[in-house]
Amino acid sequence: MNQRLLNSLTDAERLLVAETERDALKGLDEDELLDLHQRIRRARTKYVKNYRRGASAAVAPRGGRGFSYPKNQRDRDKAELFELSLARVSREVAAAANRAAAELKAERLEAARSTSAAPKATTRPPRNSATKTSSPPRATKTTGGLKKDASSRAANTRRQAKRDAS
């Protein structure tokens, strides 16, 4: 990181960026990571908003976007710094969520194994072909695919509804 940029940060911002270092993130649980993620996102959004507002306000007096670009360098750099910090925290949140999901899955599998060794058999009434009602066989030949057939049926239904309404 640029030392000039770090020197331009307030104490609160410097502490916030320091919380996103690898060693500091390792000791946090998922809820603490999510809280940090939200605080970093707020800081990033603040500086992105400041940069955009300043840049758009400076276009007319300076005579174009290219001339106003260097004017907001500090806000642009701060927004980028917080974006990088947010990416670090996001990766750690994802890793923590994956660990939690794996632990939960292992617990669920262990609980399922301990409650019953074999799955329960379901009892179904026996199928009797004599009691089965026969329906007419469906046509298997199509005219070009299921989507086209469905479209044709829908068009016929709309046409019939129009006739019934009149």
Reduced to 3 states (helix: H, G, I; strand: E, B; else coil), residue 164 is helix
Enumerate the domain spans of the chain: 3-115
DSSP 8-state class, residue 66: H
pLDDT per residue over 8-52, tens digit each? 888 898 899 889 988 888 888 889 999 999 999 999 999 899 888
Q: Which of 118, 52, 39 is nearest to 82 (CA)?
A: 39
pLDDT per residue over 84-121, tens digit each? 999 999 999 999 999 999 999 999 999 988 886 555 65
Kindly tell me the burial class for residue 77, based on how many C-beta atoms sit within 10 Å of its own C-beta (0-12, 13-18, 19 or more): middle
Decide: 84 and 43 in contact? Cβ < 8 Å.
Answer: no
DSSP 8-state class, residue 63: T
Distance CA 10, CA 8 (A): 7
Q: Read off the pLDDT of each residue in 160-164 and give the average, rounded to a whole number.
A: 90
Distance CA 59, CA 70 (A): 11
